[in-house]
Structure 1
């Protein structure tokens, strides 16, 4: 498949992913989404990016008091998240240096909370000239209103909202790309909610057992 390089769609090689402060205290105080939704979708996003070898950064704040939740850390167990004290990850020179070293001008971000630790670096990255995409269902806020106002503010500033499913689908883009298609289908089966259960049903109807598909 020949991709159209003139459009704005995300491709495996034109962006980097930043997952900001997906830690237990923030997670347990999220009220815009269920805890299960945030854990599943943040992990879904990271696992999807890993399939396509997309550069991915984890950050934390005050990590000595609250670790990143285990499901997400397990995607890149070798990675030590950049830990900081400031609310805006973009203020940290190590974060900006990591972004610079990727050579990417498109950034896909998700974080906890949406209204603080996601909004601030998104606005800063936009001001620095980056094209920023926010994965709204892999993020969460202290209330539904806080999440909605934060997303609204970021979109008004130029950020592009998308969901976890749309992110993974957009990067896969064509099921004829067999080098990643099978892994993506298995990821959807594992984390894709209703669609994932639909896949399991299809495997059942086709008589395919775990480990043979």
Structure 2
């Protein structure tokens, strides 16, 4: 996308302000501060209220568990594996764009479960893959746990195949050990909707906060004026066509009149006059 390198598609609103109301309006938008909740986390907790302790690029780690070719082929809670794979890669690209540490692991890759997705290996070519040869709950594998602890992060983004096993089991264990856990539901996958529903309910009741890939991406960006806007905008454009088309539509027409080769606009005006 050539426009991303020029200004960043996600800054379209500010560019529109320049066209519509002049530079003063745009400057006001650019100087508007981000305002935190009025209540401190300590006060909210003391009063029994929810504390919005959100994941950020600085406090988070991403765990990608068992996204293997054999296991993925059995996912049944998606309309297509293409949609599912798209979400997994978008999540991985988000981590890379925001410099979030990533831990990769596989289970019995030498047998029926298959190897890690080649696209994930290409995204993280220097990343060591934690190979598990029997332990189902990745958090109970000492090598995996050591890799997690080495990041020093306490907000855990986790997606594993399947949701009821490879995501839920480590989530429950990490909650017991005091981590803040965010299962990324639409980058996990389950054998059935029953498994997915049960896993989401079980993890939520235990204290986890389920999230989805693109809302998580927005939460990581949280302000389009940040210097990661181009990278985040590119992920939206490439992996969420519903929003990417909106962005493309703007960049295809900004600053220029849309041609009317069939003269339909003029015909309409003539009919109105009649």
Answer yes or no: same fold by TM over 0.5. yes
| Contact residue 88 and residue 121 of structure 1 kept, 8 A | yes
Q: Which residue of 2 aligns with 1:10?
A: 55
Q: Distance in 1 between matches of 2:154 and 2:127?
A: 22
CA distance in 2, matches of 1:98, 1:191: 29
Q: Is residue 98 of structure 2 the alignment partner of residue 49 of structure 1?
A: no
Cα distance in 2 for residues equivalent to 1:73 and 1:41? 16
Give unpaired runs (5+ residues) of structure 1: 209-213
Tell me the distance in 1 between the aligned counterparts of 2:192 and 2:237: 30
**In 2, distance between residues paired with 1:192 and 1:74?**
21
Q: How far apart, CA to CA, are the structure 1 residues paired with 2:35 and 2:151?
A: 21
Matched, 1:166 2:215: yes
- SS where residue 79 of structure 1 aligns? coil
- Distance in 1 between the 2:245 and 2:105 partners? 32
Counterpart-to-counterpart distance in 2, 1:80 and 1:143? 31
Unaligned 5+ segments in structure 2 are: 1-32, 42-51, 257-274
Cα root mean square deviation, aligned: 1.8
Distance 1:203 1:76 in 2: 31
Residues matched between the structures, number: 207
C-alpha separation in 2, matches of 1:198 and 1:83: 41
> Higher relative contact order by CA 8 Å / sep ≥ 6: 1 or 2?
1
Cα 1:43–1:3 shift into 2, 3 Å: farther
SS at 1:58 equivalent: strand
Which residue pairs with 2:69 in the alignment? 24
Q: Which protein has the larger Cα radius of gyration, Structure 1 or Structure 2?
A: 2
Indicate how the Cα distance of structure 1 residues 173 and 165 shifts in structure 2: closer, same or farther if over 3 A, else same.
same
**Aligned counterparts, 1:50-199, within 5 A:** 50-65=96-111, 66-84=114-132, 85-177=134-226, 179-199=227-247
Q: TM-score scaled to structure 1, two decimals? A: 0.91
Q: In the TM superposition, what is the alpha-carbon distance from 1:96 to its structure 2 partner?
A: 1.1
Superposed, 1:201-212 pairs within 5 Å as 201-206=249-254
- State the secondary structure of the residue aligned to 2:190: coil
- TM-score, normalization: structure 2? 0.72
1:129, CA displacement in angstroms? Answer: 1.1
Equivalent-residue separation in structure 1 for 2:35 and 2:115 (angstroms): 39
- Distance in 2 (alpha carbons) for counterparts of 1:204 and 1:32: 36
When residues 83 and 168 of structure 1 are mapped into structure 2, their CA distance, relative to the original with a 3 A threshold, is same
Q: When you count strand as a share of all residues, which structure comes out higher?
A: 1
